[in-house]
Amino acid sequence: MIDFEIPEKIAGTRLVVETVAVNMMRPVSRYFDEHEHEIPWDYINFMHTATRAMGGSSMVPSEKKEGPRFGFQRLAVMVEMLSWGDAGIYLCTPGGMLGSAAVSATGSPEQKERFLKRFRGETPVFDAMCMTEPQCGSDTSAIRTTAVLDQEKKEWLLNGEKIFVTAGHKAMLDSEGFVVVWATIDKSAGRAGMRPFVVEAKTAGCQVLKMEHKLGIRASDTVSIVLQDCRVPFENILGSPEVVKDQATTGFKGAMATFDATRPIVAAQAIGLARATLELLKEMLAERGIIIRYGLPRQKLSSVEKEVIEMEILLRSAWWLVLKAVWMMDNGKPNSLESSMSKVRAGDVVNRITQKAVEIMGPLGYSCEYLLEKWFRDAKISDIYEGTGQINRLVVARQILGYRSSELR
């Protein structure tokens, strides 16, 4: 049965991460917001060393079967706390991100061992996932990047362009890093022809084209990647190379399974940011003599008190949705519905709370003297990446009403 309390096994990890968030992230939060594309190496190196000392990679959940499984719940708790420290710096955490999630969801046991063990080495390693293209955003089935098999050399030849790749620059810094590129091996097959490929850093024909300047999460790099006759070993395809037209395949299913695993983690990021905002708002109000009086009838509360209490309710309910989604993931239960619900809810909540905090504090909320305005900017990405709020609402509606994607768009 699901338990909303943080297990003792995870509580110790959260305490370590909280120390990092307080002492290594918050003090430099404004600096890395103003120095976009500068890499926070002190944080990265510390997190890599600390997580190795604790027995593994920070961002790759364990697949051990013995006893209760807490991998994704542990990850959600860590991400919530790190995002409380700084959402952009959190996205620089080494140890496996979206690319690793794709490997975990679609790779063979041999591929998982081959690629994921890299994150347990002595130096920080990064990965990324390349899905979005200039002509296709949320419609992942419309990708045009192609993968053609060179039968003679037993290599895949990839051509195309990917945009808005989170951490793509860092993934290309070291030869141990990699990106997972989604491409089609048969355009005529539609979704059935889509497959993920592991493209390792330093591979000829794979190049970072540009780095984006962004509204928020500026400590994290977001890049465009071009693939021009990029040759990838045959064994770097994740899933079967066989195409069965007009049938659901491991390729497209793998993309959806990746999102089922990562969307609650994005939601956890939003929760951490919302909690940071709400805590600072209450502190600023208290300094000005406004204390929230809990337990009074609603008609006796001031408008500000009502707003804050409502925000706390929204925050708590969104966090519970995240916990349910990751609990299901840890216990091997299908969680596509709960995964999308958690992301929709958390994306709405973090945007409402950060916007309302800026409004309540007026000029102080708008000023760079405090982090409220930064968190307002950082919040919007939670509603955009890993499937926009609109797309996730469609996923939820289809699941509840029993419609296929072709029937409800």
Site of tokens 């084209």: 209
Asked whether residue 232 falls in the same domain as residue 255, the answer is: no
241 occurs within a structural domain: no
The C-alpha atoms of residue 243 and residue 251 are separated, in whole angstroms, by: 9
User: Which one-letter amino acid corresponds to residue 246?
Assistant: D
- Same domain (yes/no): 180, 259: no
> Does one domain contain both 267 and 388?
yes
Same domain, 32 and 153: no
Spell out the residues 6+ positions from residue 360 whose beta carbon is closer than 8 angstroms to its own: 281, 285, 304, 307
- Strands 206-211 vs 222-233: parallel, antiparallel or unpaired: antiparallel
Q: How many CB atoms lie within 10 A of CB 358?
A: 22
Residue 231 in any domain: the answer is: yes
Total count of domains within the chain: 3
Task: For residues 148 and 231, give the distance between their C-alpha atoms in angstroms, rounded to a whole number.
Answer: 10
Per-residue burial over 368-386, b if 16 or more Cβ lie within 10 Å, else e, is eebbbbbbbbbbbbbbebb
Element (H, E) at 253: helix 250-287
> Are 201 and 264 part of one and the same domain?
no
* Structure-token pair, residue 276: 């940071």
* Residues designated as active site: 386
176 closest CA partner among 117, 221, 233, 222: 117
How do the pLDDT tens digits run along the chain, 409 residues long? 666 778 888 888 899 999 999 999 999 999 999 999 999 999 999 999 988 877 655 456 555 544 456 789 999 999 999 999 999 999 999 988 889 999 998 999 999 999 999 998 889 999 999 999 998 877 777 899 999 999 999 999 999 999 999 999 999 998 899 999 999 999 888 888 999 999 999 999 999 999 999 999 999 999 999 999 999 999 999 988 888 765 555 566 777 888 899 999 999 999 999 999 999 999 999 999 999 999 999 999 999 999 999 999 999 999 999 999 999 999 999 999 999 999 999 999 999 999 999 999 999 999 999 999 999 999 999 999 988 999 999 999 999 999 988 888 8
Residue 154's CATH number: 2.40.110.10
User: Which residues is 157 bridged to in the sheet?
Assistant: 148, 231
Instruction: Report the run of H or E that residue 129 belongs to, with start and end.
Output: strand 127-130
Provide the CB-side half-sphere exposure for 172 (13 A, CA).
24
CATH code for the domain in which residue 334 is found: 1.20.140.10
Kindly report the pTM of this predicted structure.
0.93
Examine the domain organization and report whether 221 and 151 are in the same domain: yes
Q: Do residues 87 and 274 make contact, with C-beta atoms less than 8 angstroms apart?
A: no
Last residue in a domain, options 53, 73, 95: 95
Residues 200 and 309 in one domain: no
Q: Are residues 362 and 258 in the same domain?
A: yes
Taking the C-alpha atoms of residue 268 and residue 15, their distance in angstroms, rounded to an integer, is 17
Domain span including residue 212: 127-236
Asked whether residue 354 is assigned to any structural domain, the reply reads yes
- Cα dihedral: 322, 326, 327, 333 (round 10): 120
Q: Does residue 289 lie within any of the structural domains?
A: yes
Question: SS3 for 119-160, per residue?
Answer: HHCCCCCCEEEECCECCECCCHHHCCCEEEEECCCCEEEEEE
Measured between its terminal Cα atoms, the distance across the chain in Å is: 35
